[in-house]
Chains A and B, each alone.
Chain A
Amino acid sequence: MSKTMTGAKMVVQALVDQGVEVVFGYPGGAVLPIYDEIFQQNHIQHILVRHEQGAVHAAEGYARSTGKPGVALVTSGPGATNAVTGLTDALMDSIPIIVLTGQVPTFMIGSDAFQEADTVGITRPCTKHNWLVKETDRLAATMHEAFHVATSGRPGPVLIDIPKDVQFATGKYTEARQVETHYAPQVKGDLDAITELAKAMETAKRPIFYTGGGVINSGPAASQLLRELVAETNFPITSTLMGLGCYPASGENWLGMLGMHGLYEANMAMHDCDLMINIGARFDDRITGLVDKFSPGSKKAHIDIDASSINKVIRVDIPILGDVAHVLEDLLKVWKSRGRKTNKEGLSKWWDQINEWKQVDCLKFKQEGKTIKPQHAVARLEALTKSHDRYICTEVGQHQMWAAQYLGFEDPNRWMTSGGLGTMGYGFPASVGVQLAHRDALVINVAGEASWLMNMQELGTAVQYNLPVKQFILNNERLGMVRQWQELLHGERYSQSWSEALPDFVKLAEAFGAKGIMVSDPDDLDDAIMEMINHDGPVLFDCLIEKHENCFPMIPSGKPHNEMLLGENADTTNAIQAGGAVMV
């Protein structure tokens, strides 16, 4: 017997049936019936953000930190277009979110009605899939399907556009179990390919695990299996920015992050390895640098759930299409049943070499004088917070890289950053989403002042819901990452890369009813951080840092992995040549 109800009620019912607890949203004319239903129930908490972009990033933060899909609800027209950046961000980083948009009534679609936008048209390239629902009878089924699509296979954002008359009309509610779908990406890897990989692992002299966001996407079991695999084989392991936490930073085989601002030892090992085992990473250009010179001598295996990630950028020898956890489980079985063999002698020499690279100590810095170095600020943040139940978000820029380099992640889902799209303004709303999911945890957003200002309105949200998010702003009064590129690439002509007329962040915090802390003296730093941690409420932490610090190590664009720039003494003149300059 199927229930009959209005479309608006179906939306809420479907969310409840899908186990949704929190919706981030912003009302408007085209979603009023849904807001009316939200008003009349207690199952779902609605969080009123201050800008629709904030709603989508908050949903992303919620999703990444819980492994559950995040949900955002916005109105038609400007509400929907404001969601576009967040959708694109979630698509690039494979984050499962469901965005519900209101639409003008079906009989007005196409007439340039008030607040009409072709939402499914605009968001088609920035969603995994989207739907315009024209009949109330189809609404519940579409909602259920949307959750399935967002969370299956390679996760991603989906959008449902719901015209207002569809919300008002009455129809039949379809239960999730009544919905048939053909969308079922392959999760089990091909056993022959897995065996081929196991064999290659048995003989490799210089193997490396190159892991990425796919391990996090695959769920905590994948990280667990990965740890077992590393312990069993004693192979070194590195990870992309998106995969941090899938293997613990304190783990013995950890080489740190790789890539453009990755660690020397990780990049050198990638360049010189003879067997590269890519687990849920996508050979992004921040990783490969110059494709032609990328790890020239290695055999490459790639485990990925998305066929289009395989052989897209780098040709691999052993492609394995499947889910990380499923494939690792089989790989471990095969490898154990074949006698747990590795090339011990080769491995031991490989580790000697890696340990030699580690001696370079590529993250070393000197905190001297009366100005706080950003690296020092992040290192102190790490020291004073690592024993906490801690979640870290970031904005985009140098501070993001310093956070990746100087903070240690022990578990998956503890690190929320915008990797693929590099969206300034992501971190603050994301931290709001994370804190809602983890009420008692310490949630910190490592920010640059410029990025933070992009979605600063969310301070209202943090205060309204008493979310004690800590905004750790490394304030260099510069668009630091842009300034660094101008120094290296554009003859130190700092075109438009500094912010004048910055606000007094302490007063700004107070104006919103939050706490502000400013620190500029290295001697006061620890106390200030402790004050931030101990304050039960949102804190805006304005840390004035060295204005011209560059972020190293760095592989200049267009260069191979073994030509990194290291530290302040690096010769940066002409570091990037014409060929590399066209790349971003």
Chain B
Amino acid sequence: MSPLKIKKGATSHSAYNLRSSYGDEVERHTLAVIVANEPGVLARVIGLFSGRGYNIESLTVAEVDHEGHRSRITIVTSGKPQIITQIKSQLSRIVPVHQVHDLTVEGPTVERELALLKVAGSGDHRIEAIRLADIFRANVVDSTLESFVFEITGTPEKIDAFADLMRPLGLQEVARTGVAALARGSEAKTS
């Protein structure tokens, strides 16, 4: 067999600790998975979660480096610590996966999600909806005489809270993007 050129410093394993502490509590973790942007890579990641019975609370994916053909998948998952460790190990052995970062353990992060909400109604309900939107810093991106489409950005919890308030005011439809997350501070965790 003739060998290939292996890029210096390359490895598909990121350096996380294999000595997981074995608590029994279910934990919620946000993972940033940097993958080669090639056909089928998302199917591999999703197939891993369904095939092995792991939870996905949220999953977002988009190309983040066009020249380098890199996409970033942000996954919010939950499980006992042993399962979280398994998920990370399993993800990192998928061949087109370059890096797996557990943002939850690597330090403070910012997490944001965007949602669009269609609220229909008139009279007091309509006025109340626009007042609450203002408090939540949601923008009106479409409007008719009987409806609004609000755009809101924030943590998933903030969006949940806003949607709960809109429900009695005539909430018709919600579209959410899922979570995007980055570590705080000046340093880039992923490259």
Contact = CB atoms under 8 A, between A and B. Distances in A.
Contacts of A57: none
Contact of B3 (A69, A148, A315): A148
Nearest to B12: A183
Interface string B1-37: 1111111001111000011101000000000000010
Interface stretch (A125-133, A347-355, A454-462, A503-511): A125-133
A124 B40 contact: yes
Nearest to A315: B22
A18 B1 contact: yes
A315 B82 contact: yes
Contacts of B96: 129
A129 B95 CA distance: 7
B85 A311 contact: yes
B39 A321 contact: no
Sorting the interface of chain B by its residue count into under 10, 10 to 19, 20 to 34 or 35 or more gives 20 to 34
Given A121-B43, A319-B18, A308 B86 contact: yes
Nearest to A304: B18
B89 A307 contact: yes
Contacts of A183: 6, 10, 12, 95
Interface in A16-56: 17-19
Interface residues of A, number: 41
B108 interface: no
A147 B6 CA distance: 14
Max count, chain B CB within 10 A of own CB: residue among A144, A147, A180, A308: A308
Interface string A119-161: 0110011001100100000000000110111010110000000
A181 interface: yes
Interface string B74-112: 000000001001100110111110100000000000000
B44 interface: yes
A311 B4 contact: no
Nearest to A149: B95
B22 A177 contact: no
B39 A185 contact: no
Contacts of A17: 2
B47 A125 contact: yes
Contacts of B92: 307
Given A17-B2, A177-B4, A319-B19, A184 B89 contact: no
A124 B13 contact: no
Nearest to A121: B43
A301 to B, nearest CB: 12
B18 to A, nearest CB: 4
B2 A181 contact: no
B51 interface: yes
Question: What are the 7 tightest A-B residue pairs by CB atom distance, in nearest-first order?
Answer: A308-B89, A307-B89, A176-B2, A129-B95, A319-B18, A182-B10, A179-B4
Interface of A: 17-19, 68-69, 120-121, 124-125, 128-129, 132, 144-145, 147-149, 151, 153-154, 175-186, 306-308, 310-312, 315, 319, 321
Interface of B: 1-7, 10-13, 18-20, 22, 36, 39-40, 43-44, 47, 51, 82, 85-86, 89-90, 92-96, 98
Given A183-B12, A307-B92, 9 more contacts: A120-B40, A149-B95, A154-B93, A177-B5, A181-B4, A311-B18, A311-B82, A312-B89, A321-B13
28 contacts: A19-B1, A121-B43, A125-B47, A128-B95, A175-B2, A177-B4, A178-B5, A179-B4, A181-B5, A182-B6, A182-B11, A182-B12, A182-B98, A184-B7, A184-B10, A185-B12, A185-B13, A186-B13, A306-B89, A306-B93, A307-B92, A308-B89, A311-B85, A312-B86, A315-B22, A319-B18, A319-B19, A321-B13
